[in-house]
A and B are shown apart, each in its own frame.
Chain A
Amino acid sequence: MTMENNLNQKHTLSVLVDNEPGVLSRVTGLFSGRGFNIESLCVAETMDPQVSRITLVTRGSEQIVEQITKQLNKLINVIKVIDFTGTEFVEREMALIKVRAEASTRAEILRTVDIFRCKVVDVSLQDYTIEVTGTAGKIEALLTLLSHLGIKEIARTGAIALGRSKKEGPLKREGVKE
């Protein structure tokens, strides 16, 4: 009777933890010590200053992710673990992209920024710095378009996520796209 399934599905986990020194290293140490992988990780305080939210993206079979969730729950400083996979949730990443902006390309960059509904947050004679938020897919698409213009540097966050609120009646979801 062995464990079946080797599906390597992506899972976005939201982990509420005590906002204390050393907690992040308990969480990451668990992943490295047990050979689980972390694709990205974001941490910040919640509304309650004693609680932080870690949003963590990992990959693994059903059984591995079940172990990850249980092992996280076993840490004394972990208050709650939510696996968003298979539920309705909103997920966003952010990137800052410094792209070479010459006279000949400035207009094209601004047009692209417009299409992607992102912002130029810093300007110099040589380059633009663009701020973009969205799904990983959107950020990848923007990077592809900008890459031939010459990307100098990027800084990217991991994903953050929240579960969607229940919608009443036939109301349409607005403003957010997956």
Chain B
Amino acid sequence: MKLSGAEIVVESLIQEGVKFVFGYPGAVITDIYDCLEKRPVRHVLVRHEQGAVHMADGYARASGQVGVCLVTSGPGATNTVTGIASAYMDSIPIVVFTGQVPTELIGNDAFQEVDIVGITRPCTKHNYLVKRVEDLARVIKEAFYLARSGRPGPILVDLPKDVLKAQTEFKYPKKVELKSYRPTYNAHPGQIEKAAALLQKARKPVIYAGGGALASRCSPEIRTLAEALSIPVTSTLMGLGCFPGTHPLSLGMLGMHGTYWANMAVGHCDVLIAVGARFDDRVTGNVERFAPEARIIHIDIDPTSIRKSVNVEVPIVGDCKDALTKLNQRIQQWAAQDWSKMRQPWLETIREWQTSHPLTYRQEGEEIKPQFVVEKIYEVTRGQAIITTEVGQNQMWAAQFYKFDRPHSFITSGGLGVMGYGFPAAIGAQIACPERMVIDIAGDGSIQMNIQEMATAVANNVPVKIAILNNGYLGMVRQVQELFYGKRYAQTALSGNPDFVKLAEAYGAVGLRASRPEEVVPVIKKALSIPRTVIMDFVVCAEECVSPMVPAGAAMTEMLLVS
């Protein structure tokens, strides 16, 4: 039987096991919507296409499945670009379907035509313009395979209207044949041997785990390695949760706003084991002075991540899980040794750094400290919630004061740092995990960048909670102005903010406010008890700073402690 291109799209989604599509219709993709309604794929109608992409991204992170978006040509397509770029930086598997004008009009500046394949070339893992309906099923098969395999990432598939109308036999391919794409999953045993040799002699080792550790689902293997040899573990913003935050060997986050002791440990370690991390500039600071004493082992599935910014003594290309499994097998022969005793001096040194420079803030007086709010959310949810964040101080306080014991529970736009990410991502995560509590820790600036998704949340009964740390400022930028621009707060005060409680109510959601410290816990408890979309407006101290902070160009061990 022949199917139309539009039907092929929908049947292919079913073949891929897609349960949710986040999208927004338009003229050229009406055929797909017409088919979608009749089939068992749920469509979530967003209010802005950027929201759709972040939802698919949040859905993918929380569920481990590929997230899917569907948007129209022209403005629908361009509205997805920020979301795609964010997913690309964070290696999140999503497939974005965009409508396109009919093939014979392409290149004619037709109504709502845009070269979205050209625009997204540098921010997708790969993208396609489908010109013949006969290629459609194969392309979709490849798109899903590419999105989730190797180093995951976003794939865009552009669908001209005539291709959606044209008909052909539908046969969904069983296998993908891409002669030029073969990710290396198996770590080379010779490299494992070299890594083991370095580890055996290491006196002051540190494991540095990134988002790749979550993508590879190697939390158990990291824990085995850390515990077997008593190696402390720090993780990047993207990696939080891959090693339990409450574990005695956990150093918390490293980097620009990382813990003092994590940065000091990396600055003084003799062997650094990077697992699915890419030595981003927010982690290395002044790269010339990063981990000066360390011999580096770097495990990553993407060879381009290795030796991109720092020199590596033992590169291991492969799936982190495979590499660590092999390494753990190899080190079993050393089980007789008392590693925890041997590691005492190193762990003691780190403990001294931790005691002398803990993560602190002072909750005193009438004003709510933003860190206090995060800490209370942590306590009330007993660390079991999925936390998404916006970007800015809210993001850093969430990373510092919520301890993640479970993987895939912290969802943030790490690489691109997109304000407006957290709320739609929370909706996606909540749809993926209906049984879990999902909270977006937000800033008053960021939340307004995708606030229109309130309608999506309410219409779909998505009971996400938004905790706005309302400081009346673009706080992170204000902090930079306070510290480095003589407190000249150019364009960072947010006058004209709406009344967020009334705003929630206007959307048919619930709005709650806390203005005094003693109101914080009751508001959190109340919000969590309401099975609906809730905005919590926490009126917090306006001029609080995130501390510690590594100024631009400084070494990671030269942290500023801002009080």
Q: Say whether A78 faces chain B, with CB atoms less than 8 Å apart.
A: yes
B285 to chain A, nearest CB (A): 12
Contact A1 B291 (CB under 8 A): yes
Contact A74 B302 (CB under 8 A): yes
B283 to chain A, nearest CB (A): 13
Q: Say whether A63 faces chain B, with CB atoms less than 8 Å apart.
A: yes
Q: Say whether A9 faces chain B, with CB atoms less than 8 Å apart.
A: no
Contact B303 A73 (CB under 8 A): yes
Fill in one digit per residue for B117-156: 1 if any A CB lies within 8 Å of its CB, else 0.
Answer: 1100110011001000000000000000010000000000
Contact A1 B290 (CB under 8 A): yes
Q: Say whether A67 faces chain B, with CB atoms less than 8 Å apart.
A: yes
Contact B304 A2 (CB under 8 A): no
Contact A76 B121 (CB under 8 A): no
Contact of B125 among A29, A30, A76 (CB under 8 A): A76
A77 partner residues in chain B, CB cutoff 8 A: 180
Contact A33 B122 (CB under 8 A): yes
Q: Say whether A4 faces chain B, with CB atoms less than 8 Å apart.
A: yes
In the complex, A30 Cα to B124 Cα: how many Å? 12
A29 and B179 contact, Cβ closer than 8 Å, known pairs A2-B311, A3-B310, A22-B117: no
Q: Say whether B199 faces chain A, with CB atoms less than 8 Å apart.
A: no
Fill in one digit per residue for A91-106: 1 if any B CB lies within 8 Å of its CB, else 0.
Answer: 0000000000000000
A33 to chain B, nearest CB (A): 5
The size class of the interface chain B forms with chain A is 20 to 34
Contact B288 A76 (CB under 8 A): no
Contact A66 B178 (CB under 8 A): no
A3 and B180 contact, Cβ closer than 8 Å, known pairs A22-B117, A67-B304, A74-B304: no
Contact of A25 among B118, B129, B294, B302 (CB under 8 A): B118
Q: Say whether A156 faces chain B, with CB atoms less than 8 Å apart.
A: no
Fill in one digit per residue for A50-77: 1 if any B CB lies within 8 Å of its CB, else 0.
Answer: 0000000000000100110011011011
A74 partner residues in chain B, CB cutoff 8 A: 302-304
B117 partner residues in chain A, CB cutoff 8 A: 22
B129 partner residues in chain A, CB cutoff 8 A: 22
Q: Say whether B256 faces chain A, with CB atoms less than 8 Å apart.
A: no
Q: Say whether B418 faces chain A, with CB atoms less than 8 Å apart.
A: no
Q: Say whether B296 faces chain A, with CB atoms less than 8 Å apart.
A: yes
Contact B179 A66 (CB under 8 A): no
Q: Say whether B436 faces chain A, with CB atoms less than 8 Å apart.
A: no
B304 partner residues in chain A, CB cutoff 8 A: 67, 70-71, 74
A101 to chain B, nearest CB (A): 43
Contact A76 B307 (CB under 8 A): no
**What is the chain A residue whose CB lies nearest that of B272?**
A1
Contact A76 B310 (CB under 8 A): no
Fill in one digit per residue for B261-290: 1 if any A CB lies within 8 Å of its CB, else 0.
Answer: 000000000000000000000000001101
Q: Say whether A18 faces chain B, with CB atoms less than 8 Å apart.
A: yes
In the complex, A159 Cα to B424 Cα: how many Å? 50
Contact A70 B303 (CB under 8 A): yes
B91 to chain A, nearest CB (A): 12
Q: Say whether B351 faces chain A, with CB atoms less than 8 Å apart.
A: no
Contact B294 A1 (CB under 8 A): yes
Contact B146 A76 (CB under 8 A): yes
Contact of B122 among A29, A66, A76, A78 (CB under 8 A): A29
A2 and B288 contact, Cβ closer than 8 Å, known pairs A66-B307, A74-B304, A77-B180: yes
Contact A79 B179 (CB under 8 A): yes
Contact of B311 among A4, A17, A33 (CB under 8 A): A4
**What is the chain A residue whose CB lies nearest that of B303?**
A70
B406 to chain A, nearest CB (A): 31
Q: Say whether A152 faces chain B, with CB atoms less than 8 Å apart.
A: no
A83 to chain B, nearest CB (A): 14
8 residue pairs bridging A and B, Cβ less than 8 Å apart: A3-B309, A3-B311, A26-B121, A29-B121, A30-B122, A66-B307, A70-B303, A74-B302
User: What 9 pairs between A and B have smallest CB-CB spacing?
Assistant: A79-B180, A76-B126, A70-B304, A70-B303, A2-B288, A1-B311, A33-B122, A76-B181, A1-B310
